[in-house]
Chains A and B, each alone.
Chain A
Amino acid sequence: MKPAIDYLLHLADNALVLGQRNAEWCGHGPILEEDIALSNVSLDLIGQARLLYQLVASLKGGNCTEDRLAYFRDTHEFRNYTLLELPHHGPLSGYAQSSMDYGTTIVRNFLYSALMALLWEALEKSANADLAAIAGKSLKEVRYHLRHSRDWLVRLGDGTDESHARVQAALDHLFPYTQEFWAQSPAEAQAIAAGIGVDVTTLQADWDAIVDAALAEATLVRPPVGGYVTEGKQGIHSEHLGFLLAEMQSLARAHPNGSW
């Protein structure tokens, strides 16, 4: 049960943290249609997170709920990829402020959706029937997210000089974080051994193909990777997650006995 819980939390935290980030565009998008599209993506992700947390809560039993898991765990207990918690702009320290950059948003959604389109498909065969069912539902959603982000990646990459430069910069910033996808954590290893999880490294060649085809169409250059490999899925995060959670959890924690 323990391997399932850690693995499910990893999947759930990914969805929640990226859903929270994408919702930051609600009301501020570059065009009204994109406000609506990103809200859709965000709603799908939060919906996925809820199903996964509910599954964890049922495995844990007691008085655990989806909201206990989302609102009352601290930074080091979150198991999401570091990539997903970063703000929508270039590299800056945790408490530095900057305007949101749509290129960063699109690149991140593309890199993550390309992975999840493969991972959810593989997880449809998970030994955990509940997870397999969630994977089936999520797969339909992520295929739309991938199409949406890929279309914009190509438009921005092959749009104007400015958009090309911005989206290439976003790619250079974010691409090294994808190394974390392929660095297996103990929780993943246990979940794979139990037949619940999928070995992501088996998906890497397909992911490369999706990414390379899109980058070629977008006239973008795949950045070299190397150096520090982030460990968000093991609870070691960037400075940014603390701020994201402080905001997200503030009201729920101010009223721990509240009913909403």
Chain B
Amino acid sequence: MYTQSFNVPDGAGKTVPLAPSTEDPALQAAFDARIDADGRIEPQDWMPEAYRKTLVRQISQHAHSEIVGMLPEGNWISRAPSLKRKAILIAKVQDEGGHGLYLYSAAETLGTSRDQMLEGLHSGRAKYSSIFNYPTLTWADVGVIGWLVDGAAIMNQVPLCRCSYGPYARAMVRVCKEESFHQRQGYEALLVMMQGTAEQREMVQDAVNRWWWKCLAMFGPPDADSPNSAQGMRWGIKRVSNDELRQKFVDATVPQARVLGVTLPDPDLKWNEERQHYDYGQIDWNEFWETVNGNGPCNKERLATRVKAHNEGQWVRDAALAYAEKQKARSIKEAA
């Protein structure tokens, strides 16, 4: 799932300098021309260091989001209320792991290893999508995450299929197909629950109430406060602004909520005839930044869980490596 549609600087909030002024002017000109012509940059092509760094940061944040994103939904696998839903949920969480794999591979083409990226995540330097720092409290959260969180991720990610960096764009094509499948499955699960008991309908409404605003915040701060967006647009890494994407998401979601029979928890949400869009209320950016900066309800739990899995798996990875080396030595000996 789930890139944050904007670049959160990793670390202490310092923005990476973007001016590519020290580079070779001829190479720079060729790169600029390719970008202007909407061409693709491939791993073997020359690229400005700042472009490379921005991409590594964005793609690895995206990969981390996929694997941290396995945790909130994984929380309900053991308790899924039917075998069909259990299978669907395992397959979904597994897909997210697969997205993590494609994205780590895409980032590796830029010269950063998976181990380096994981080290960034585990040390707390690298960010991941903030949406996963909220708890999944009921089974309805699983459906709502599919519908709204995967839904918001699709809005963010479809433009990335045209991203200027080839391996990232190609990974996104595959990812987006699966995300839209997740979105439909989540929505369908909610439709079924809404036709169930009164308690089930309450459960769905409660989950919508808790996730709606967090999903709107997933698109990142308003355009006026997004310093990195302009350079990202110039480089063809970002294609559509945060506010435009958010509006698109709201416009698409309101009719779906109506069909489902839930109320989106925003008294200011109404159709604006003049703009031909839905107006919506104020997002609590304070809460959003608190969570981005590590102080949300589950930040510590999510990160510690990833670190635990990694540390406790060390002996397994060591064994695989040792065995591979032994096998290599044996085959050399045989050949000799």
- Residue ranges of A at the interface with B (Cβ–Cβ < 8 Å): 16, 20, 23-24, 26-36, 39-40, 42-43, 46-47, 49-50, 53, 66-67, 70-71, 99-100, 102, 154-156, 158-160, 162-163, 166, 247-248, 250-252, 255, 257-260
Contacts and interface: CB of A to CB of B under 8 A. Distances in A.
A18 to B, nearest CB: 13
Nearest to B87: A46
B79 A248 contact: yes
B323 A154 contact: yes
Given A26-B74, A31-B316, A255-B200, A160 B322 contact: yes
Interface stretch (B7-15, B92-100, B209-217): B92-100
A258 B196 contact: yes
Nearest to B72: A27
Interface of B: 67, 70-71, 74, 77-87, 90-91, 93-94, 97-98, 100-101, 104, 139, 189, 192-193, 195-197, 199-200, 305, 308-309, 312-323, 326
Nearest first, the 9 A-B pairs at minimum CB distance are A30-B313, A159-B319, A163-B319, A30-B316, A39-B94, A27-B74, A259-B196, A27-B70, A260-B82
A23 B86 CA distance: 10
Give the residue among A16, A66, A155 with the most B Cβ atoms within 10 A: A155
26 contacts: A23-B78, A23-B86, A26-B93, A28-B74, A36-B97, A36-B98, A40-B94, A43-B90, A43-B91, A46-B87, A50-B87, A67-B83, A100-B312, A102-B313, A102-B316, A158-B326, A159-B320, A162-B315, A163-B318, A251-B80, A252-B82, A255-B197, A257-B197, A259-B196, A260-B84, A260-B196
Nearest to B143: A260
B149 to A, nearest CB: 16
B79 A250 contact: yes
Contacts of B81: 71, 251-252, 255, 258, 260
